[in-house]
Every structure is written in C-alpha cells, then in structure tokens.
C-alpha cells in the first residue's frame, strides 16, 4: 500500500541487519521485575505489545552489566546473573514474532550505584564508584573507581553483549549518556582523574572506547552496536555540542548507529529536558542529532518527545536523522507505527507528557500511562475477551473523557450503548485545553476520543440531562455514571464580583482577563493557569493557603512546573479574605493582612464531585459503575482507566 510517510517507513540496513522502518521503541524502565531482577510474563507482554504495534526495533532498558558496582536501584536487569538468560530469550521470541528487532541497553550507574537515586529502592552494602572521589550534596561518599574495577567492568560489557547475542538479541545499545557511568567519565565536570582515564577528551573517552572494542570482540563483525550519546550535557563544566561532535568522529568506526540524546536524570532542569515536558516543543532535542549526523558516516537516531508521524517524516526526509526513537509515545499508543503506516494517524493517542509513567515507575514500581489503561496490564488484557457473550443495553451518563472512553469500550465489545451529555458538547474540562498552547496534547486526546466515539456504534445524545425518571424509563441493563465535578466556590465576600472568573472561563475567554491577575488556588489547575497567563505577558500572583504549590501534581510534572513558575509571584500559607474591584485582601500565616491589587481574580481552589447526581442515579439498575471525578476529583488518568475497566466488567 502507499503510505503518507514513505521516508519513515523505508527500510534501513544497520550493520548486517535490515530494519523494516525508521522507528525504534526507545528503552524504558521496568519497575515490576522479580526481586532478583528477572523478567516476568507481564514484562514480556509489555515489550511484545510494542513490537506488535509495528516498530522496527524494541529496546529493553535498564540492563546492568556489572551488578556489584552498577545497579543504581533494585529494579534493573542483572546481565551478569546466569539466571536472566531464560527471560531474555523469551522476550526476544515475543518481539521477533511480530517482525521487530530485539535490542538491549547495556548500562552501569557509576557513582549513582548503591546510593540514593531515582527509581526503586537503594541497594545496601555497596560502594559508590565514580570517575573521581567526591561528596555529593546529599552527604553520600563517592570513591574514585580503581583501575582494576574499570577493566573488570570493561570485560563485563563484553560478557553482557555475548549473553544478549546468545539470547537472540540482534543489536545491543551501549548507554553512554544521561549522567551514568560512561557519561561521568566523559564529563570534565565529573572526571578529575590524573591517569590515562582523565584529562584530555581522548583520555576521558578511553573507558568508552575500550568498552566498545570489548563489545565488538564479543558480538563479532556486522552485529549492530548502537551508542546512546549525549549531544549536550547541559551542565556547567560538562561536554557541549562541539566536543560531542569531536567525540562522535572518534567513535564513528566503532559503532553502527548513534542515538543522540542529552542531559541527565540528575537534576530537575536536566530531567525535564532529557524527557521533554509539555512546556517544551516536541523534537526540541533533534537539532543535536542533526549536528552529529553532519560529522559521522554511520546512521543517527534522534529523540525528543516525538510522536507525530508528519514531524518524524520531515526529520527523516530532510536528513536531520536516519531513525526516530520513541518511549512515552509508545506507551500512550503502542500501535502508533501501524496507524501511521495505514494512513490512520488521526486515531493515534497522543502522549500528554504528564510524567504519570515516571510517577508510577518510581513511586509504585509499576508501569502505567494516563491515556492508555492497557499499559501495565498487557497480559491481563490479552486474556479478556474483547467481545461480550451477552450484549447489554448500557447507559453512560456524562460525556467527559471517562464517559467517552466507557462508551467506546462498551460499544467495541458489542453492547448497545447510549451516552447522554447534559451540555451541548463532549469533552468535559478537556475541551478547554484548546486555548492553552502547552495543553495541545490534552486537547488532541479529547479530539481522538470524540472521533472514536463517532465511529463507534454508540448513540450520543447532547443537551440531555439524565435523572432518576430518565433511567427508569430507559431501563438499561448497566449504568455508567461519569458526571464529573464542578468548581468549588469558596465562601469569600466578593467571589461573585464581575472581576472574578473561574479557571476554565479564563482559559476560554482570554479577553476577559486583565493585565494584573491573582490566581486564588495554587493546585495543579491554578499553577498551569498561572503559567499560561504569564506566558501571555500577564502580571500574575498565585495565592495558596497550603505551604507548597501543586501538592496534587506528580513529582516529575512538578519539576517541569517549578521551572515555569520560577518568575511568577507566589504567596503560600495565605488565605483569601475578601475581594473588591481593586483586588483581593488576604491573610498570611501570621494573621497579617495583605492586599494584592488585581484587575482579575481567577478562582482555582478545586473541584467538588457531583454527588447529588450520583446519589439520585445509584441503585436504579442492578449493575452500575461510578467513575472519574464524580467519584473523587482527580486527573484524566483515573477517569480513563476506571472507564475502560468498568466497560470490560459489563
């Protein structure tokens, strides 16, 4: 067939392997391994789903070559453990059966091994070795890595690569970026050694070059070796693009594919650039790959929150890179490549870049996605019949993201579905994301749900308010209540004044917002509203009664928001007292009054569930489900997941 993206779906030969297209599933962490770090059936199903979606290659992440010194937390694959082989072989079979190449990341945590780090739990009774001795800001002691351990680790890279080849992997990726061991040795800010592994760029690169030689000796000629390398460390005293270009030229003969990334996991401002937040442009790191491509002869792949096939096609067609790599995008929609290839891009579920996947991995030790309820439940979902043996009449009340997802899933399973929405449009609060540039992905997701609903067999009734009598007359077999929540209006004098707007109204009616703005409420909605208005040039102050902003946001999204909030005025531990036409009077934690002048006060103090509707509708049918914000105000993650599984239960 003729695809809209001929460059993206053209084959490419790397080493002695031909890849069917230019899309690689980038390595992602797994936080639900066994206690020993072995792959489970759930892990294998997770990787298989990516392969089934049409990528050319699937890369296993966080695979450690030297467990004694290299594990930065306890949820990593120990490649030097002989018992990992069966799991590795099984995952290769699962990937290969769908025509994808199995790739594996060979990594070492360096100074972050055995000390406080991101993800998993700290491993006790280990010594942290880095290129040079140092005391971290946390007080933890890092020791200079002795040469005998350096050579032991070099040997372990070769052994790990040989084991990967034995398991059936057809490519290995040496990880020399993101602040891990090999990147630490490359960086003059980290590496202060006086021996042959420190000093000049050639000396600092010696460890990496010896590793690549050892890996080549282990896998033989023609076997593809991928190198993940930064294009810029973005750290003071680190390596920047021009030095990385020189380094890439030094390494060109030793690798078959350069994967160019940037930054580090170590530091908020670096993390949200390595894994670009919603506040950055998609493809913000591609220019680094393009610069490296100009100086090497081997193919180059790029990263940077890529998901849009049109953008990826342009990257390949223009010669910025030879391949694109995706991580979070393939959690949101593992079938992205197949949809793009068959000219069905409008059905691709966009990644929101909300960091829910990271939050789940680090704090819950599971995989999860805000817009894809199957992720983390791949094996269980494959065992559930997609078609119901007994079709039922299903009434869904509420046309927000939860209601739409419930209706889509129930209709797909063969049920007779009617969705009623009280307003004149679908989408709930997501439809207001259209007015905020950095929430475009959220709006696109709402549009995808609307399209899927329209293409389903579900009947949609707008301007239809459902009450007890309506349900009793319709007599559905199953009822899904997804009526959402309404903004909470605090009992503050003047809250009904004309200069007061709700957050959603402020987003959709920017002409009503004055120049000087006070955001009453510093939760997630309040902070994002403040960021949007500040970007529009408004003078913004956030007033929050709690001691910190956005405590309801996940830690990773909070990192990104904190950078955006840096220059916005904030008053925490402060409560609104009354509002007049000149601004708002507040009380601080000492009880002192503070008057803040403002043309507009925006109320964003939270939501209250529509419990009155819920209470009226429950117990009318023998089978009913309460999902989303009407259960408890939360984020889109819970609404979509609850909707999906409620529809599977019918």
The string of DSSP letters for 296-351 reads -SS-EEE-SS---HHHHHHHHHTTS-SEEEESTHHHH-TTHHHHHHTT-GGGPPPP
The SS3 assignment for 150 reads helix
For residues 639 and 402, the answer to whether their CB atoms sit within 8 Å is yes
**What is the per-residue pLDDT across 2-42, written as a single tens digit (0 to 9) for each?**
999 999 999 999 999 999 999 999 999 877 889 899 999 99
The pLDDT, as a whole number, for residue 434 is 92
Overall CATH class of domain 387-487+609-649? alpha beta
The pLDDT, as a whole number, for residue 114 is 67
For residues 58 and 47, the answer to whether their CB atoms sit within 8 Å is yes
Percent of residues, the chain, with pLDDT higher than 70: 98
pLDDT surpasses 90 at 223? yes
* DSSP string computed for 96-132: HTTTPEEEEEEB--GGGTTSS-SSS-PPSS--EEESS
DSSP state, residue 364: I
CATH 1.10.10.10 fits 500-605, yes or no: no
For residues 585 and 497, the answer to whether their CB atoms sit within 8 Å is no
| CA-to-CA dists, residue 260 to 106, 176, 322, 423, angstroms | 16, 10, 11, 47
Please name the residue that has the structure tokens 């790739």: 103
pLDDT surpasses 60 at 489? yes
Closest CA to 520 of 530, 510, 511: 530
Q: Which residue has the higher pLDDT, 525 or 268?
A: 525
First-residue to last-residue Cα distance in the chain:
38
pLDDT surpasses 70 at 115? no
pLDDT surpasses 60 at 590? yes
pLDDT surpasses 60 at 118? no
pLDDT surpasses 60 at 229? yes
For the chain, give the mean pLDDT: 94
What average pLDDT score do residues 362-381 get? 89
What average pLDDT score do residues 397-420 get? 97
pLDDT tier, 166 (very low <50, low <70, confident <90, very high otherwise)? very high
The pLDDT, as a whole number, for residue 122 is 56
pLDDT surpasses 70 at 409? yes
What average pLDDT score do residues 500-514 get? 93
pLDDT surpasses 60 at 123? no
What average pLDDT score do residues 415-430 get? 96
Return the H-helix or E-strand segment holding 571: strand 569-571
The pLDDT, as a whole number, for residue 366 is 87
The SS3 assignment for 515 reads coil
For residues 36 and 313, the answer to whether their CB atoms sit within 8 Å is no
pLDDT tier, 75 (very low <50, low <70, confident <90, very high otherwise)? confident
252-278 exposure pattern, b = at least 16 Cβ within 10 A, e = fewer: eebbbbbbbbbbbbbeeebbbbbbbbb
**What is the per-residue pLDDT across 260-303, written as a single tens digit (0 to 9) for each?**
999 988 777 889 999 999 999 999 999 999 999 999 999 999 99
Query: In sequence order, which residues have a C-beta less than 8 Å from that of residue 504 and are 6 or more positions away?
Result: 429, 432, 487
Query: In sequence order, which residues have a C-beta less than 8 Å from that of residue 263 and are 6 or more positions away?
Result: 178, 179, 230, 232, 233, 234, 270, 271, 273, 274
pLDDT tier, 125 (very low <50, low <70, confident <90, very high otherwise)? low
Label residue 613 exposed, middle or buried (CB < 10 Å: 0-12, 13-18, 19+). buried
pLDDT surpasses 90 at 421? yes
Among 121-125, 231-235, 484-488, 565-569, the least confident range: 121-125
What average pLDDT score do residues 61-73 get? 92
The pLDDT, as a whole number, for residue 35 is 87
Closest CA to 98 of 60, 170, 49: 49
The pLDDT, as a whole number, for residue 66 is 97
| Size of the chain, expressed as the number of residues it contains | 650
Residue ranges of domains in the chain: 12-380, 387-487+609-649, 500-605
Whole-angstrom distance, CA of residue 608 vs CA of residue 593: 28
Return the H-helix or E-strand segment holding 611: helix 611-617
- Which CATH topology does 12-380 take? TIM Barrel (3.20.20)
The pLDDT, as a whole number, for residue 364 is 84
pLDDT tier, 117 (very low <50, low <70, confident <90, very high otherwise)? low
Phi, psi torsion values for 394, nearest 5 degrees: -120, 130
DSSP state, residue 598: -
């Amino acid at each position: 067939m003729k695809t809209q993206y001929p460059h993206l779906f053209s084959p490419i030969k790397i080493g002695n392997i031909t890849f069917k297209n230019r899309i690689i599933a980038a390595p992602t962490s797994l936080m639900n391994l066994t206690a020993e770090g072995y792959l489970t059936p759930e892990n294998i199903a997770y990787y298989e789903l990516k392969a089934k979606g049409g990528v050319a290659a699937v890369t296993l992440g966080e695979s450690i070559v030297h467990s004694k010194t290299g594990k930065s937390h306890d949820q990593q694959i120990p490649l030097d453990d002989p018992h990992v082989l069966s799991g590795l072989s099984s995952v290769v079979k699962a990937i290969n059966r769908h025509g994808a190449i199995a790739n594996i990341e060979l990594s070492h945590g360096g100074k972050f091994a055995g000390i406080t780090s991101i993800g998993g739990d700290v491993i006790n009774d280990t010594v942290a070795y880095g290129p040079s001795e140092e005391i971290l800001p946390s007080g933890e002691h890092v020791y200079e890595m002795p040469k005998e351990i350096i050579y032991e680790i070099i040997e372990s890279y070769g052994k790990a690569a040989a084991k990967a080849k034995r398991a059936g992997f057809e490519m290995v990726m040496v990880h020399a970026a993101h602040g891990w061991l090999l990147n630490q040795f490359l960086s003059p800010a980290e590496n202060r050694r006086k021996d042959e592994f420190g000093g000049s760029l050639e000396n600092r690169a010696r460890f990496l070059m010896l590793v690549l030689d050892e890996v080549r000796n282990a896998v033989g000629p023609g076997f593809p070796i991928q190198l993940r390398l930064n294009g810029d460390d973005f750290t003071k005293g680190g390596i920047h693009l021009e030095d990385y270009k020189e380094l890439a030229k030094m390494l060109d003969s030793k690798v078959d594919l350069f994967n160019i990334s940037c930054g580090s996991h170590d530091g908020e401002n670096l993390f949200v650039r390595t894994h670009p937040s919603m506040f950055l442009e998609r493809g913000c790191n591609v220019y680094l790959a393009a610069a490296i491509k100009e100086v090497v002869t081997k193919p180059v792949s790029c990263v940077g929150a890529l998901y849009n096939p049109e953008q990826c096609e342009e990257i390949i067609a223009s010669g910025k890179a030879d391949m694109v790599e995706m991580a979070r995008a393939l959690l949101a929609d593992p079938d992205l490549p197949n949809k793009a290839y068959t000219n069905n891009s409008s059905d691709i579920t966009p990644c929101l870049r909300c960091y829910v996947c990271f939050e789940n991995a680090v704090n819950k030790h599971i995989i999860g996605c805000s817009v894809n309820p199957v992720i983390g439940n791949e094996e269980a979902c494959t065992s559930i019949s997609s078609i119901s043996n007994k079709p039922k009449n299903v009434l869904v009340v509420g046309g927000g993201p939860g209601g739409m997802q419930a209706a889509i899933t129930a209709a797909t399973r063969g049920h007779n579905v009617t969705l009623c929405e009280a307003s004149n449009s679908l989408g709930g609060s997501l439809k207001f994301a259209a007015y905020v540039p950095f929430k475009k992905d959220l709006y696109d997701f709402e549009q995808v749900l609307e399209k899927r609903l329209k293409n389903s067999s579900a009947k949609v009734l707008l301007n239809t308010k459902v009450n007890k009598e309506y349900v009793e007359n319709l007599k559905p077999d199953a009822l899904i209540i997804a009526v959402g929540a309404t903004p909470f209006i605090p009992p503050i004098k003047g809250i009904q004044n004309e200069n007061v707007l709700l957050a959603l109204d402020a987003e959709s009616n920017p002409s009503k917002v004055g120049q000087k703005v006070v955001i009453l409420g510093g939760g997630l909605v309040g902070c994002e509203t403040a960021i949007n208005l500040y970007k529009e040039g408004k003078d913004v102050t956030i007033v929050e009664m709690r001691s910190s902003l956005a405590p309801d946001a996940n830690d990773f999204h909070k990192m990104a928001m904190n950078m955006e909030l840096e220059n916005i005025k904030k008053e925490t531990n402060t409560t609104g007292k009354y509002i007049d036409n000149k601004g708002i009077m507040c009380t601080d934690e000492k009880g002192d009054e503070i008057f803040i002048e403002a043309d507009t006060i925006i109320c964003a103090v939270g939501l209250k569930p529509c419990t009155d509707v819920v209470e009226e509708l429950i117990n009318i049918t023998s089978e009913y489900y309460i999902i989303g914000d009407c259960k408890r105000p939360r984020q889109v993650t819970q609404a979509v997941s609850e909707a999906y599984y409620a529809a599977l239960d019918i």
